[in-house]
Amino acid sequence: MNGIVEIIGKVFLGLIGLCIGSFLNVLIYRLPLGMNIASPPSHCPQCNAKIKWYDNIPLLSYLVLGGRCRHCRNKIPFRYFFVELVNVLLWAAVLVLFDLSVYAVGYALVSSVLLAVVFIDAEHGIIPDSLNVTVSLVGAVFTVYSIFEPSIAGMVGTYEVVWWEYLAGGAGAALLYFLVWGLYKLIRKRDGLGGGDIKLMGALGLVLGYRSALLCIGLSAVFACIYLIVRAAMGKLDAEKPFAFGPFIAIAAYLCMLFGNCLTGLYLSLF
């Protein structure tokens, strides 16, 4: 009976994830512009026609309309479909790997925020505070909930993260990034990290705990280095031009949510 309840719960959450993917497109477009995310209602950015509910069904409406506005027939950016698809895949991975719990729901919500971070920071070079606050709130819930239920279970195994590890992760990750920012500023006389990166890493530390937060910091640096090496090999690297670091943090954080305990355990076992 419990298995059936868990399956129904995960299917329900998957449908919610599908809907949130559609909402993410609103956030990605409006947050960097300082627009209200609730008003005006969804509309075509080219002809301003209000989008009816049946044209706003995640994934399906885009396919039915052939990627075009029903009214003006102009193309709808493929990004809208892509974001919805990726978001539901991110949620699916979380719901498959973890037992239905507060942790699974929190990881799913954070994965959506991270997806928004990737697109907003890559395009605008900013990470809105509202996204960092959302991640911090999930971390705060984890901290309190872990006092009563520290075990996180699923296909990745069962492990425990006690409440102080979340606080240590948040404070330690933010402090480490702040020190890196300060040292780079002292040596190069310019910013090496944005304030949004520091806030995001601090918020993620609250979600991951200190062990996975340290892994996230290392992985994000590795991913960024690979990106810069590839850009340099292609002759497209401008050393004086800043690049968005948020997407690398986001990708590393998602991997750490899913596999952080396995990876840190494997690393520690070597010693």
Question: Helix, strand, or coil here: 126?
Answer: coil
Q: What is the pTM of this model?
A: 0.93
Higher pLDDT, 132 or 260: 132
Amino acid residing at 60: L
Q: What is the pLDDT of residue 267?
A: 67
Q: How many residues would you count in the chain?
A: 271
Q: Which residues touch 54 (CB under 8 Å, ≥6 apart)? A: 61
Cα gap 114→182, rounded to integer Å: 25
Q: What is the mean pLDDT of residues 190-217?
A: 91
Q: What is the pLDDT of residue 31?
A: 93
Q: Where are the domains of the chain?
A: 1-97, 99-271
10-43 pLDDT tens trace: 888 888 988 898 899 999 999 998 888 877 777 7
Contact 244, 200 (CB under 8 A): no
Please state the separation of Cα 6 from the chain's center in Å.
24
